[in-house]
Chains A and B, each alone.
Chain A
Amino acid sequence: MIKQSAEKGGIGRRAFLKAAGAVGLVLGGMPLRLSAAEPKEILIGDIHPTSGGNAEYGKACQDGTRLAVEQVNAAGGIKSLKGAKLKLLAADSEGKPEVGMRAAEKLIQDGVVAIVGPFQSNVAFATTQIGEKYQIPTVIDFGIADNILTRGFKYSFRLMASTDMAAEQWAAFSREIARAKNVEVKTVVIIHENTLYGTSFAKKAKDAVEKAGMEVLSVIPYPFNTADLSSEVSKIKALKPDIIAPISYTPDAILLTKALATLKVYAKGYIGISSAGHGSLAYPTSLGKLAEFNMTQTAFGNPNAPKYAPFFAAFKKRFNAPPNSSPSSYNYSAGLLVADAINRAGSADPKAIREALAKSNFKDHLLCGEAIAFDELGQNKNVVSPFIQVLKGEQIVVWPKKFAQKDPVFPMPTWDEILK
């Protein structure tokens, strides 16, 4: 090389110009890019169980938030902050409170201004503590346990209905359907799994059902990891209720339905009270025909929301799979809600965002119900937990009418008709 340049007598004029031009282009480009990155990105955290037992739900949740953030950015970012872009920092809770807590600490250290998640009650109970400590708002998607919000935290906001709301809505909707179909419904048997979830819900449901003027014939608890529910089901058969109201996880929901069919227990309605198991995707897929006409209340997205169809299409395109109604639409809404709050706050300061969230009146969401607005505890007061029914293997929203895709089938056909 040295020899060569010595021969040529250094760099030629033309070569020099070329090099200078290239450098100039690079330098000239730099300030342009810097100005594009100004104002800098606003970080949003997302905590969900993307590994472990609830991994599939966790992923459906996280993809929902991700889509919302990407769409906000594609539409020009946060308007009040000169089009500032959002950036999603996704974390895995593994479904464990302690891992969720560490994830929240890490996200906050990385500079997130709000957190979305974390799908489970026990994890929400833990992560919101961290959010409260650092004064970073959390928008809770799911996590129905009462004590998450009753601690008086200022930085926790929950989208899904509380146990009280769900129980009241269940009783009201059951009455409405019976009235609409001109069917007499007077008696209910509640059968529930006996962990905190089922037990506390059953108590509230019993009160709500009685308040609505129906009689609760019996409240039957059972251990959710049991191998057999035939005896409990025999008991229901002897009681002959108009409505069987289960509160179950997935495995016991499967066993319960099989036992009801085997022992040919007929009731006018088989309607889950916010039953996680009956509302799960595994319920219709694993039971096939036996799941037909089962109704349950669940935190489903609103298929009639104007934004639902475009959301569905965009989600499918982005992730090569259709969204899972509850987790994906709830978290999509959470992402949009946070963007809306930042926009209204006109600031990326978490305290200002918290104030904006507390004053939310956000209509552009996919939940069933009116605009998202929070009460003083941080509970979304306008959300509705609708009834879905399994019709031809699909989970279809059937009540309230406003959100329904189809008319409910009520009373239920007999098992012989279902299994025909």
Chain B
Amino acid sequence: MVLNASLILQALVNGVLMGSIYALVGIGLALIFGVMNIVNFAHGSLMMAAMYLSYWLFVSWKVDPYLSMLATIPFLFFFGLLIQRWLIERVIDAKHSIQILLTVGLSLFLDNLALALFTPDFRAISVSYQTASLVLGGIIISYPQLIAFLLALGLTFALYFFIKKTMTGKAIRATSVEKEGAILVGINSQRIHYLTFGIGSACVGAAGAAVLPFFYCSPNVGYAFVIPAFVVVVLDGMGNFWATFVGGLIVGVAESMGAIFVPGSLKQMVMFIIFVLVLFFKPRGLFSK
């Protein structure tokens, strides 16, 4: 086997870059779960919707995928808000099984709608910079992936700031910690729920557009990102956004190192072994005290 330093370093870089995307997707999931205690199984389908939106903007009007975020983020925000308003809010106090059925059903609906509207074809866009890369001492860093990484980092920071420092952010945190108490002090918990689901969905609105230059688009594409994102969420124990971000990087690096060190098909197993170990030994999250 040809294990050398540059191969390992390259895998590390690949893992960190991919991990940041898992993190961005995971942050949306964690936020929704943290505030409303709802596991959003439709998260991947929402990401798929963002990817198609970005794809069609590019194909129809040559809108650059990064620029298309100006559309995908607000679109997903309002789409999420409406989903919360019309669907999730109705089962917010129902049993978990009912909530799961609803989000799984929504996911099936969206996936099949995409199948009907866009056919099962795999699509990808060709942008001039899609294979552009930065070469640093033999290590190749793809520009689109680097941009996605920086975007994920920036958005994590923005969300962190929003939740920690703004009044609305504080209201979201209050609702997440103690719903009844928050209502007592005059916080409109329903509106906080709308906002939370909107923001959670907007995260995949950004992620969907950010991955399009180096990924493909199809009705089932969301699962490729959401499954690692679920692991991320378990890793960080729904703590803060930075923990989620680091969790994403851990999952990404575990996967890429797995691809180098263990026989290829087992690379996802490395990720799931971490998942099981964390659940077993630190069920409240890797960074819990």
Q: Measuring CB to CB, which residues of chain A are less than 8 angstroms from any residue of chain B? A: 52-56, 194, 218, 220-223, 225-228, 230-232, 234-235, 238-239, 250-251, 254-255, 258, 261-264, 280, 282, 286-290, 415, 419
Contact = CB atoms under 8 A, between A and B. Distances in A.
**Top 7 closest pairs, chain A to chain B, by CB:** A231-B259, A194-B265, A288-B126, A230-B14, A286-B124, A227-B224, A238-B2
Contact of B268 (A226, A234, A262, A287): A226
From B221, B255, B260, B267, residue with most partner A Cβ within 10 Å: B267
Contact of A232 (B120, B228, B264): B264
Given A226-B268, A258-B214, A54 B120 contact: yes
B137 interface: no
Contacts of B121: 56, 282, 286
A255 B10 CA distance: 17
A290 B265 CA distance: 26
A250 B122 contact: yes
Q: How large is the interface on B (under 10, 10 to 19, 20 to 34, 35 or more residues)?
A: 35 or more
B224 A225 contact: yes
B119 A235 contact: no
A56 B119 CA distance: 8
A214 B216 CA distance: 34
A4 B130 CA distance: 88
A219 B119 CA distance: 33
B166 interface: no
Interface string B254-271: 011101100111011000
B133 interface: yes
A258 B256 contact: no
A419 B119 CA distance: 29
B123 interface: yes
Contacts of A222: 259, 264-265, 267
B259 A287 contact: no
A264 B120 contact: no
Interface string B1-27: 110100100110011001001100000
Given A220-B264, A227-B228, A262-B214, A234 B124 contact: no
Nearest to B141: A262
A318 to B, nearest CB: 22
B131 A261 contact: yes
B223 interface: yes
B225 interface: yes
Contacts of B142: 230, 262-263
